[in-house]
């Protein structure tokens, strides 16, 4: 048994080494559906006055959000990520996106609303501690993407995975908030009062944090269980789309998040400490990613 495990571990180390090199340049899949179709519209300004409207964030909030620095990507800056410039408020694209949200609003069902509002509460608190009553719930949220792949897919059975994803969430949050503060995009319902948002937000729109974190999780879990790639990506897509259903994000917020997530995960796999921690997670999955059998 010991020899079998040793051979398996050596094989996984070799595979991981090759994988890490390949992953650092993994490409983004092309946009599809309404994300691709809406990209044909111009992002340029049509009304300078409307374009002056920005989401204003007070200095104390910015300082608090930026106080938790990355743990892996310590040498990375915003310049290392290339996401599209935010469309002007008065652009053809923004108008087309709002029209899309209005049509989506007409079609949303009670189940669409229920599931989208449920997903609005899927996030992770960076300041939660094991002593907090909310700790288990937040740890569980780290496994929302891919939740259907097995009963073992949970923070209790995969504690190293949960620890890694929590650290990744911290790194991602630093850059997501940096981008939100940089672009300060106002929400669609600010431009058009006919958009009936079902969630109140007090932060900028671009990019979507829910979408970005979901795609990041999907891309990481994809490397641990590639046979479930379609499920991980679909779960992330559903999370992104849920933000459009409830009227708080433009489709371009979602697409910018997907672009950022791919680049962010590629950066992680260029980081030596992350690769070491990820290898431990791979070993954890080799031992525990299976249904239990008892006679």
**Averaged pLDDT score across all residues of the chain:** 93
What would the two tokens of residue 155 be? 């923070």
Domain assignment present for residue 295? The answer is no
Q: Is the confidence at residue 4, as pLDDT, over 70?
A: no
pLDDT of residue 9: 35
Q: Is the confidence at residue 56, as pLDDT, over 90?
A: yes
* pLDDT confidence bin for 162, thresholds 50/70/90: very high
Domain assignment present for residue 294? The answer is no
pTM assigned to the model: 0.92
Residue 154 domain boundaries: 2-288
Q: Is the confidence at residue 21, as pLDDT, over 60?
A: no
Report the CATH number that the domain containing residue 150 is assigned in CATH. Answer: 1.20.144.10
Domain assignment present for residue 293? The answer is no
Whole-number Å distance between alpha carbons of 130 and 68: 18
What would the two tokens of residue 105 be? 């609003």
pLDDT of residue 25: 67
Whole-number Å distance between alpha carbons of 59 and 78: 19
Nearest to residue 204, comparing CAs of 187, 190, 219? 187
Q: Is the confidence at residue 24, as pLDDT, over 60?
A: no
Domain assignment present for residue 181? The answer is yes
Of 22-31, 172-181, 198-207, 238-247, the one with minimum mean pLDDT is: 22-31
What would the two tokens of residue 119 be? 């997903």
Domain assignment present for residue 250? The answer is yes
Q: Is the confidence at residue 169, as pLDDT, over 80?
A: yes
101 with 244: CB under 8 angstroms? Answer: yes
> 82 Cβ partners below 8 Å, 6+ apart?
259, 263
Domain assignment present for residue 94? The answer is yes
pLDDT of residue 14: 37
Model pLDDT for residues 213-264, shown as the tens digit of each residue: 999 999 999 999 999 999 999 999 999 999 999 999 999 999 999 999 999 9
**Total domain count, the chain:** 1
């Amino acid at each position: 048994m010991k020899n079998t495990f040793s051979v398996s571990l050596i094989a996984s180390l070799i595979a991981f080494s090759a994988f890490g090199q390949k992953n650092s340049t993994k490409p983004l899949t092309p946009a599809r559906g309404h994300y691709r179709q809406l990209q044909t519209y111009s992002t340029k300004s049509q009304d300078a006055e409307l374009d002056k409207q920005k989401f204003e964030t007070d200095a104390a909030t910015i300082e608090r959000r930026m106080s938790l620095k990355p743990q892996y990507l310590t040498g990375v800056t915003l310049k290392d990520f290339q996401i599209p410039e935010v469309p002007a408020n008065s652009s053809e694209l923004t108008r087309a996106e709002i029209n899309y949200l209005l049509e989506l609003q007409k079609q949303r069902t009670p189940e669409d609303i229920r599931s989208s509002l449920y997903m609005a509460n899927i996030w992770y608190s960076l300041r939660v501690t094991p002593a907090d009553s909310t700790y288990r719930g937040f740890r569980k949220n780290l496994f929302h993407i891919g939740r259907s792949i097995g009963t073992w897919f949970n923070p209790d059975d995969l504690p190293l995975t949960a620890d890694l994803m929590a650290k990744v969430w911290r790194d991602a949050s630093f850059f997501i908030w940096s981008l939100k503060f940089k672009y300060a995009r106002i929400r669609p319902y600010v431009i058009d009062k006919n958009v009936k948002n079902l969630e109140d937000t007090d932060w900028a729109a671009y990019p979507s944090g829910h979408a970005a974190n979901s795609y990041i999780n999907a891309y990481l879990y994809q490397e641990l269980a590639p046979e479930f790639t379609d499920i991980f990506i679909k779960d992330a897509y559903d999370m992104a789309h849920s933000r459009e259903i409830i009227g708080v994000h433009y489709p371009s917020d979602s697409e910018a998040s997907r672009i950022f997530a791919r680049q962010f995960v590629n950066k992680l796999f260029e980081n030596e400490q992350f690769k070491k921690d990820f290898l431990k997670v791979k070993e954890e999955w080799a031992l525990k990613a299976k249904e239990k059998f008892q006679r």
